[in-house]
A = this chain, B = another copy of it.
């Protein structure tokens, strides 16, 4: 499974390095900063997912995704945003830097039957047009497949 994830992330890394793909399968989530913050995690140098996920990422859930976090089943329209920022450590404190990418997964069973009902997309930096997913979300979904038990969502609600 690790291999599958690594492939997904290498795919994203390639995209970040310049190869982008025209796709409008998933819309940019204009309001995600007003969604509910669920959790954060930092990937440091040396981590297998360092490329391209080095930095801190915050996960946000819209109302339908928040509801799904209780049952681990998600209705169409449920969306998670993955907001990845550089994380700079100085004088024993780490603070947020520029955005690396914004990832999104959106549930729509009719539109995304090949990837468990989820559509995947990512945008480079602060761009709303430079898309990073070039395989219809297949590689990202390959990574998320290890959490099929909770409808392919890694994130869990903490109290």
Contacts and interface: CB of A to CB of B under 8 A. Distances in A.
A36 interface: yes
A96 B46 CA distance: 19
Nearest to A126: B159
Interface stretch (A37-45, A107-115, A145-153): A37-45
A124 to B, nearest CB: 15
Interface residues of A, number: 28
B40 A92 contact: no
A94 B34 contact: no
Contacts of A126: 159
Interface string A37-78: 101111111110010000010101000000000000000000
Interface of A: 33-34, 36-37, 39-47, 50, 56, 58, 60, 87, 89, 91-96, 126, 158-159
